[in-house]
Amino acid sequence: MTASLEPVVKPALDAAPGAGLTPRTALTAVLLAILALLPLYAGLTGDPFALTLFTRVIILALGAVSLNLIMGYGGMVSFGHAAYLGIGGYAVGILAKEGIGSGFAQWPAAIAASALYALVVGALSLRTRGVYFIMITLAFAQMIYYVAIGLERYGGDDGLTIYRRSQFGGLIDLNNKTLFYYLCFALLLASIYLVSRIVNSRFGLVVRGARSNERRMRAIGFPTFRYKLVCFVIAGALCGLAGALLANHTNFISPALMHWTRSGDLIVMVVLGGLGTPFGPLIGAVAFLLLQEGLSRLTEYPDLILGPVLLLVAIYVHGGIEGLLDGRRRG
């Protein structure tokens, strides 16, 4: 019996989609190569700006990877994800101001604080669906934005300068821009790998199944709420890490980082790069931020072009840039 089923079992077990060289794979490979070699280019040309810009791209890509976990794979369109960038950043900033400069304390605090907020927001929001969920996550993010503005001791509306980057006791000096870049890059790759393991695990299949057909998931015996909540918390925690990185990168943190429109930026990155794909968030982050950067050099009114581009993508392209690459179009 087993022997005769082998030819069926093997392709069924082989879950890797799109094997072989596709435009998407090629683009990803090229992009990774460029990112890996970027500091060399920056060193050779003596242009520090590229390094600064791409460090930011990578950090925000990490944020997008975390959003992709819940949005792309889980179908939970959270419009409050920038909140975790802020919470992570403020954890670092507040601890730094209070004299705790060790990264070994700051970064876990950033992750834990973000996870906690995600737990509370998720517990309340995941009881709703669709548009309600979008609006509620939006509202909770805005709430934390106002809380930050109210924190006068930590800069309030003006923000908080972080004079010393997170200390790791000789292990690594974050002030070295190249080292910091590679650390961020390593963390990004690690998180992409982590997410890809999660989404193919038992847990991930439950979350993806809940996205596909929640009614059926419950009918076969899964209490979907708790799985979605855990997923939401993981995504929040990961984004908190990105927030800690961002605070270190800019030596500054302000409530503006948590404004809901920044959450919009993250959503754009995930969608542009292709929902529910492992490297999509990175592609989307690169595309979006480079587009923004390029347009602002071209014109004093970059959003006059960027805005309609997003609208056109929403109307005409299914699957974001991935869709463009794969030739998919809306009917």
Partner 1 sequence: MLYFIEQCLNGVQLGMLLFLLAAGLTLVFGIMDLVNLAHGSLYMLGAYFAATFALVTGSFVLAVVLAVAASLFAGMVLEVVAIRRLYGRDHLDHVLGTFGLLLFFNDFVRLIWGPAGMTVPLPQPMLTAIEIMPGIFYPAYRLVIIAATLAVAALLYIVVMRTRLGMLIRAGAANRQMVGALGINIKLLYTLVFGVGAALAGLAGVLQAPILTVQIGMGENILILAFVVIIIGGIGSIRGAFVAAVGVGFIDTVGRAFLPDLLHRVLSTTAADTLAPSLSSMSIYMLMAAILVFRPEGLFPAASR
Partner 2 sequence: MCTAASKACSTAAAVARPLLQIERLTKRFGGVVPTDAVSFGIAADEFHAIIGPNGAGKTTLISLLSGEITPQGGTIWFDGSNITSLPVHRRSRLGIARSFQITSLFRDFTALDNVALAVQAHRGHSFRFWRDARSEHELRQPALATLARVGLAERAGMRVDKLSHGEYRQLEIAMALASAPRLLLLDEPMAGLGPEESAAMVQMLRKLKGTVTILLIEHDMQAVFALADRVTVLVYGRIIASGDPAAIRQDAAVRQAYLGES
List interacting residues with partner 1 (CB under 8 A).
71, 77, 79, 124-125, 127-128, 130-132, 134-136, 138-140, 142-143, 146-147, 149-153, 156, 259-261, 264, 267-268, 271, 301-304, 306-311, 313-315
Per rule CB under 8 A, is residue 220 in the interface with partner 2?
yes
Return phi, psi of residue 3, to 5°: -60, -45
Per the listing, tokens 């929040």 go with: 236
> Among 69, 141, 206, 257, which residue interacts with partner 2 (rule: CB under 8 A)?
206
By the rule CB under 8 A, 19 interacts with partner 2 = no
3-state secondary structure the chain: CHHHHHHHHHHHHCCCCCCCCCHHHHHHHHHHHHHHHHHHHHHHHCCHHHHHHHHHHHHHHHHHHHHHHHHHHCCCCCCCCHHHHHHHHHHHHHHHHCCCCEHHHHHHHHHHHHHHHHHHHHHHHCCCCHHHHHHHHHHHHHHHHHHHHHCHHHCHHHCEECCCCCECCCCCCCCCHHHHHHHHHHHHHHHHHHHHHHHHCHHHHHHHHHHHHHHHHHHCCCCHHHHHHHHHHHHHHHHHHHHHHHHHHHCEECHHHHCHHHHHHHHHHHHHHCCCCCCHHHHHHHHHHHHHHHHHHHCCCCHHHHHHHHHHHHHHCCCHHHHHHHCCCCC
Shorter beta-carbon distance to partner 2: residue 276 or 281: 276
Q: Using CB distances below 5 to 8 A depending on partner kind, what does residue 297 bind out of partner 1, partner 2, none? A: none
Minimum CB–partner distance for residue 134 and partner 1 (Å): 6
Closest CA to 162 of 111, 112, 238, 103: 103
Cβ closest to partner 2, residue 67 vs residue 206: 206
Question: Is-contact 198 74, C-beta < 8 A?
Answer: no
Rounded least distance, CB 7 to partner 2, Å: 9
Nearer to partner 1, 18 or 307 (CB): 307
Phi/psi at 79 (5° precision): -100, 20
**Which entry of partner 2, partner 1, none binds 101, CB below 5 to 8 A by partner kind?**
none
CB of 203: closest distance to partner 2 in angstroms? 5
| Residue 74 interacting partner from partner 1, partner 2, none (CB closer than 5 to 8 Å by kind) | none
Please pick, from the candidates 23, 48, 150, 223, the single residue that binds partner 2 as defined by CB under 8 A. 223
Per partner kind, with CB cut-offs from 5 to 8 A, the member of partner 1, partner 2, none near residue 306 is: partner 1
Provide, rounded to whole angstroms, the least separation between the CB of residue 87 and partner 1: 14
Specify the residue, 6 or 152, whose C-beta has the smaller distance to partner 1: 152
Instruction: Tell me which stretch binds partner 2 (CB under 8 A): 29-37, 152-160, 206-214, 311-319.
Output: 206-214
Shortest distance (Å) from residue 309 CB to partner 1: 7
Residue 140 touches which of partner 2, partner 1, none (Cβ within 5-8 Å per kind): partner 1
Question: Which residue, 174 or 270, has its beta carbon nearer to partner 1?
Answer: 270
Give the shortest CB-66-to-partner 2 separation in angstroms.
Answer: 15
